[in-house]
A and B are shown apart, each in its own frame.
Chain A
Amino acid sequence: MTMIQAINSALDVMLARDPDVLVFGEDVGYFGGVFRATEGLQAKHGLTRCFDTPIAEGGIIGCAIGMGAYGLRPVAEIQFVDYILPAYDQLVSEAARLRYRSGGEFSAPITVRSPYGGGIFGGQTHSQSPEALFAHVTGLKTIIPSNPYDAKGLLIASIEDYDPVIFMEPKRIYNGPFNGRHGEQLRNWAGEPTAQVPEGHYTVPLGKAVIVRAGKDATVLAYGTMVHVAMAGIEESGVDAELIDLRSIVPLDIEAITASVAKTGRCVILHEATRFAGFGGELSALVQERCFWALKAPIARVAGWDTPYPHAFEMDYLPGPGRLAAALARVMED
């Protein structure tokens, strides 16, 4: 399966399995979503299970919270995560705090799916990576898959979770992996081991990172599209680096991170989002606090520049394997 098919399959499985699961968002119903993630679901499961909404992100999330408080498990789609900000008040002030402020009387077991990330010439409002805006909000969980198998298992786990989950889908790799080299021929998921996706129900637990490539000289922390870029960058660098796909931003698998850096003594953090106050800053601080005596070099961050996401300069902006390789070479010098 492609990642789109895996996401579609997760929704299909959960719609069939749990009558309290509803899927909705802009263009999600009859049309099947602008990225085809919900294709066929309305025809198969019915109008009231998978439906279109008005173009109002605050209303979409607000209604989802109300449904969640009632006892349903709504799965809402925000068409691009760039457009989630009108719903930010609902996510921060309501979904994230409902359980806490009500002493556990009410909660919002909602899943918010949203395509994120660059590499598609999406310009300023079709490319952003705002995971740090969610990671900073206590009470929210944030999940980012990097391949079809994880996408399906993590999405099912998110829908079954009792807390509000922001499920960010790297749209650049919906149809095939992307290593950050634009000149190369487009690849698809066929033949990738992670594209072997079971038809039925399974989960990938939230809060568990995975070692994508074992190594002994440095640790690379990445998620989403950047996992594939990291793999290419590690090969280009010739450094025997360990690559960890975080998969969960919150809850974060701190043990996997510290175990790896304790072993390698070096750490490079890679993300598409802008650098300043990005999630890499938190990762860097945690590694520094917990692995200080193991560190042989300063922690390096490779990230998007601190500018809005540009159109013409996309390849100058999006971190590619070359930038990671350079950072790895730098940390190996120390």
Chain B
Amino acid sequence: MRNDRSFSLHIPEPSARPGGTPDFSHLHLEPAGAARRPVAETPGLEMRDMPYRFIRVLDEAHEAVGPWAPRIEPDMLLRGLRAMMLTRIFDDRLFRAHRQGKTSFYMKSTGEEAIPVAQSLLLGARDMCFPTYRVLGWLMARNYPLIDLVNQIFSNEADPLRGRQLPILYSARDYGFYSLSGNLGSRMSHAVGWAMASAYKGDDSLALAYVGDGTTAEGDFHEALTFASVYRAPVLLCITNNQWAISSFSGFAGAQEAPLASRAIGFGLPGLRVDGNDFLAVWAATQWAVERARANLGPTLIEFVTYRVAGHSTSDDPTKYRPGDEANHFPLGDPVERLKQHLIALGVWDEARHAALTEELDQAVRAAVKQGEAVGTLGESKPPVREMFEHVFATPDWRLIEQRRELGV
């Protein structure tokens, strides 16, 4: 083909802007049960179709169908439902706390709860999650104390991170939850290094890392995939593709050209593309990748297709760049509602119990917030100022000691 005209620069555009009608046909979704399930030991070369398939278990009738349908006891499903509901209720309550001036910042994970909750319940106590700021469900599934979350968000005297961190950038080693930071993508290679260390020591602790769709464009993503592949590290590399990186749609991460899961192919890794709003599909895909890692066959890249229902953060107004009702058009629905309907279909759940649980969780969150408020909200209470100078080094050097004295603490 001869280039007989001048070039034109392509700038990706989302299907709809405010006032428009969203179109998600570019996601190329498949019905529940359609995607094949290779055995976990399958060589990577024989799975190059998988990133283009779509793993989905729950069908329109809320039944688990197809080769990926996992065997999960109803009690475990109920634990999942509970943790997802708790995450959402907590998000709503603390988002409001920000609006009431009790803290400086908050980020919700509304619509994405199934991913970290299922993975947290499935992985072991000694496995380490390298989170993003949108996987609170991991901690909720492991019963991390609500009061510690609240105290961290209020940066008060009882804040486990001693008032040093922006709200929601938690760290909870005992709950398999690595220290969060504001910079994107840089902890993905920490997960790979952790997994390499585990392999080197002959341990069985694996690592799981999350990045958002936007962050797949960072160099760290590329480096982490390279190292994971080269050293066959026992790590699960997860992309939560919620379609939006603040105001930029996933096309700016290159998702318009190919599914993000297909990034795996060039690294010789299995890549799975999964319904992120389907608790059972998240569970099944994760179980598959864990099985592969535990068999010493190395890493898996999993793209969870989901939708960021809320604004990016308390500082964001999504109605300025996307249709206000876009979430309602998202074809994968709501993860809490879908799991709830599945449990009802199984005959182990009903509306009355659901309402009672909602009330119970709401009370628990209210009680935790009240307890945190009693300690103090931002500006009312903080850890001793002396704490500002601790933990810079294992032992403070003379500068820190002098500066602490200069401040009179």
Give A contacts to B, CB under 8 Å. 22, 48, 53-54, 56, 58-59, 62-72, 74, 86, 89-90, 93-94, 97-107, 138-139, 141, 161-163, 207, 250-252, 254
Contacts of B190 in A (CB 8 A): 62-63, 65-66, 69, 94
Closest A-chain residue to B165, C-beta based?
A101
Residue pair A100, B164 in contact (C-beta under 8 Å): yes
B198 interface residue, CB < 8 Å from A?
yes
Q: Give the CA-CA distance A139 to B188 in the complex, in Å.
A: 21
Closest B-chain residue to A253, C-beta based?
B398
| CB-CB contacts below 8 Å: B60-79 with A | none
A-B contact pairs, 26 of them (CB 8 A): A54-B223, A56-B226, A58-B189, A59-B189, A62-B186, A62-B190, A62-B220, A63-B227, A65-B190, A66-B130, A66-B190, A66-B196, A67-B197, A68-B193, A69-B178, A70-B197, A93-B186, A94-B187, A97-B181, A100-B164, A103-B391, A104-B391, A105-B172, A106-B179, A251-B393, A251-B397
Residue pair B193, A105 in contact (C-beta under 8 Å): no
Residue pair A106, B171 in contact (C-beta under 8 Å): yes
Which listed residue (B164, B178, B187, B196) contacts A103, Cβ 8 A?
B164
B211 interface residue, CB < 8 Å from A?
no
Residue pair A59, B226 in contact (C-beta under 8 Å): yes
Residue pair A103, B162 in contact (C-beta under 8 Å): yes
Closest A-chain residue to B187, C-beta based?
A94
Min C-beta distance of A99 to chain B, whole Å:
5
B160 interface residue, CB < 8 Å from A?
yes
Q: Give the CA-CA distance A72 to B202 in the complex, in Å.
A: 13
B192 interface residue, CB < 8 Å from A?
yes
Contacts of A56 in B (CB 8 A): 222-223, 226-227
Q: Give the CA-CA distance A163 to B400 in the complex, in Å.
A: 15
* 16 new A-B contacts at CB < 8 Å, known A54-B223, A58-B189, A67-B194: A56-B226, A58-B223, A59-B226, A62-B223, A63-B190, A65-B190, A66-B193, A66-B197, A69-B193, A69-B194, A86-B219, A93-B181, A94-B183, A99-B391, A105-B179, A162-B393
Give B contacts to A, CB under 8 Å. 128, 130, 160-162, 164-165, 169, 171-173, 178-179, 181, 183, 186-198, 200-201, 207, 219-220, 222-224, 226-227, 230, 390-394, 397-398
Closest B-chain residue to A22, C-beta based?
B200
Min C-beta distance of A25 to chain B, whole Å:
13
Q: Give the CA-CA distance A68 to B179 in the complex, in Å.
A: 13
Which listed residue (A59, A68, A138) contacts B392, Cβ 8 A?
A138
Contacts A58-B219, A97-B181 given; indicate if A63 touches B196 (C-beta within 8 A).
Answer: yes
Residue pair B392, A139 in contact (C-beta under 8 Å): yes
Contacts of A22 in B (CB 8 A): 200
Q: Give the CA-CA distance A63 to B233 in the complex, in Å.
A: 11
Q: Give the CA-CA distance A74 to B179 in the complex, in Å.
A: 19
Closest A-chain residue to B207, C-beta based?
A66
Contacts of A105 in B (CB 8 A): 171-173, 179
Residue pair B392, A100 in contact (C-beta under 8 Å): yes
Closest 5 CB pairs of A and B: A66-B193, A62-B189, A59-B223, A63-B193, A66-B190
Contacts of A93 in B (CB 8 A): 181, 183, 186
Q: Give the CA-CA distance A62 to B194 in the complex, in Å.
A: 10
Q: Give the CA-CA distance A19 to B183 in the complex, in Å.
A: 32
Contacts A62-B189, A63-B193 given; indicate if A163 touches B394 (C-beta within 8 A).
Answer: yes
Q: Give the CA-CA distance A63 to B160 in the complex, in Å.
A: 26
Which listed residue (B186, B220, B222, B392) contacts A99, Cβ 8 A?
B392
Closest B-chain residue to A51, C-beta based?
B231
Contacts A103-B162, A162-B394 given; indicate if A67 touches B227 (C-beta within 8 A).
Answer: no
Closest A-chain residue to B159, C-beta based?
A103
Q: Give the CA-CA distance A58 to B198 in the complex, in Å.
A: 20
Contacts of B186 in A (CB 8 A): 58, 62, 89-90, 93-94
